[in-house]
Amino acid sequence: MLDSGDAAKEKVGGVFHPVHMHWPESGVIIYTDFYKKRKGLQTPSDAMRNDVALFQKDGSVVHSLKKPSIKTESGGLVGEVYHFGPDRRGQYDARAYFTYKDYIDYFVLTAHDKPTFDRSLPAFEHVVRSYAPQLKVIHEPPKKT
């Protein structure tokens, strides 16, 4: 289920979770967000390294594991996929990064434990395959002409 209320609360683009449940009691969540490209953050690999650094800053010693890419159903974009975990809280993540215009859009599956993570990977892959970038980027105010 797409939950715009949880997305607003977490300040991310979108949040998906099992019906009638919310994070953290659901034990699993998929959310979307983006990085604006800048020096040192231009590619999905850069975004992955940035996320590893954020894990480390949070006290987690995690490494990324490259997984097969996922191609979208619409537009044929290819997302680079990495798995992380467990972090210091025992959580596992899968992340898919897409380059689009001046952004790196990404999806994150976060699960409280490995069995839930493994069971949730097909849903994550389904959501990622459904990604279609916006034709008009709404992350920035319109330019004055």
What CATH number did the domain enclosing 116 receive? 3.40.1000.10
- Which range marks the domain in which residue 56 is found? 4-129
Residue 135 counted as domain residue = no
Report residue 42 as tokens.
């231009």
Position 51 in a domain: yes
pTM score of the predicted model: 0.82
Q: What are 8-49's pLDDT values in tens digits?
A: 465 555 666 666 666 667 789 888 889 999 999 999 999 999
Is 138 contained in some domain? no
Residue 96 included in any domain: yes
Structure tokens of 107? Answer: 């999806």
pLDDT in tens, 53-73: 999 998 998 889 999 999 999
Number of separate domains in the chain: 1
